[in-house]
Structure 1
Amino acid sequence: MKVLVVGPSWVGDMVMAQALFIRLQQEHPGATIDVLAPGWSLPIIQRMPQVRRGIAAPWGHGKLNPRAQWQLARELAREGYDKAIILPRSFKSALIPFLARIPERVGFSGEGRSLLLTDARKRRPTRDGNQITDKTVWRYLGLGVSRADYRRYQFEVPFPALDTDQANIASVMAKLALPTDKPAVALCPGAEYGPSKQWPLANHRALAGALAERGYQVWVMGGPKDVEAGDTIAQGQDGVYNLCGKTRLEDTVDLFAHCQSVVSHDSGLMHVAAASGAKVVAIYGSTSPDFTPPLTDKAIILRHPIECSPCFERTCRFGHYRCLTEITVQQVLEALA
């Protein structure tokens, strides 16, 4: 069996998609799985042993790029794929498998693309008691099963597990002048979604200082957009290192694997940390672990339930952010302990 999976566009979603790749290999031993996805995600895909290769998608955000799509579709047509599984719901994500004439094309209906699919499915939120849930990872796993099995819409989830590179860990730590004789805890203050996911920077700074006093080195981790936040947390604190914007995505996987624990919001880095094997303390504000939980048995989830949470909004409509501000530094320290 030869499968082309069109992958999602977010870091955390790409990590969760590994659960589908694991299940496909379990049900079809020896299957070949290729993943068509944004170019930034290829280093993560390379750490997934179930995937033969990652293929950079020829489109950008909001852009179809039809000429490049047609050229890639012609190349993929020669691969002889048996099946395509399209995880995103956009029109452009279904176009290449259609143009490549892959005989079975499974995905969710939407954006007028059902004609591009041979098996267009409706999303099926499920009820757990009084709570309606629609776990992202269930949606991915659901597209990998038959229509009959899809109707159940409850799946056992294999945990993602990214390969790590011990030699790269040593190399990156040496390059960044990080101590090798102290246990490390990583803090991830960023969240691309917006401030309604982000624990206050003052709390991160206080947590970092408390951990440094206890003998840990603290790594503040994130992308270039998080550099200023990292400076706020690390500045003037011995043993606290701002690594935001200084590491590649694959370096982050390896550094997380070296950490004793990782503290993160509900973000892409939370899912990377979980798949690296680290213990994760996950802080949830406007979102819910009922939908995007860290896929690991080594996670502790912290929430402050109030009547308006989860609201799934990018900013707090009331301006108080109590779902986040009332999670204390002491609570996080206790979770880490």
Structure 2
Amino acid sequence: MIAGFTGLSLTQGLSKRSVNQRKLAISMAAFALGGGIWSMHFVAMLGLQLPIQFYFDATVTLISALVAILVVGVALLLLHLRPRTPAVLAGAGIIVGLGIIAMHWLGMAGLQLCRPLYSPGGIALAVIGSCVLNMAAFWIAYGQRSHLNILLGTVCFGSAVFIVHFVAIWGTSFVAIGAEGDVGPMIGKEVLAIGVVLSRFVLCAAFLLTGISFVTPAQPKPETEAPIPQELPVKKSAEPKFARQIPYEQDGRTHFFDAKSVAAIRAEGHYTHIYAQGRRYFCVWSITEAERRLDPATFTKTHRSYLVNPAFVESFERLKDNGICHMNLPGLPRVPVSRARLKAVREVLGV
């Protein structure tokens, strides 16, 4: 849970940070989340009681930890360097879900003096459960980057790692191998487990404090050294400033359209699709943010999910208590007009 909270908190608000700050935050989050996955698995395995002697190969165990960190890093890069569409959220959940399974079975391969035997039912249930639960965790945590969603995503992520581990162990049996004279590690399992847990808590706490100090953008300091002379009044514009360009994501980069060249904006979950130059593009703005940023003289709200540029409306159809704007756009031939917006839209269109 603490590893999940650390990783998801460090990646909050990365779109407003510099490239170097993004890389630092993603690296720390991957180490926190991946290390949390591995440490939960390893400590649980140290608590495993078998009627035979066994211990773990240090090299294989270390490799399993690196695998967990790597797959989480790939998923975070996908989430923060590409438009966060439903497909991307699902893909990130599947990557981490399969990574947890790979880390688990690789760690099991490090068992010495005994060999695990897996059942097909246990394998299938573990793989499906891991992918579904991690998809849900990312969907919740990244569907809306609020504190509540991060807490709920933390619970879902921690539960996913915990449940998948014990489902996989439930479908596993063990047989003894090796000679009686083989010797395991000198450190006791209880001491090793406590050491791993404490080290993970210390690292996560350090990452959270580091994130606050170095990752969060610094607030501008008030300029007290050179105050504005009293005899020179500061001119303040009473007119609101509206965005002249609308951003859209394509090929991993942010591009811009002139606001007047955009025909319509449609809500898509917490994001929007914009229609311009005969195509549809993904925009990170929500429909509420788009309405707040754009000049109402250029865009008219026809429905809670639509903003329309009247210059691109080809015809208007009046229904009983609502209406339809016909746009003739690929993928958006018409736009609904709600009853609450009908009068305002008709005034803008002059009908």
TM-score, normalized by the shorter chain, greater than 0.5: no
Q: TM-score under structure 1 normalisation?
A: 0.25
The structure with the greater share of residues assigned to helix is 2
Larger Rg: 2
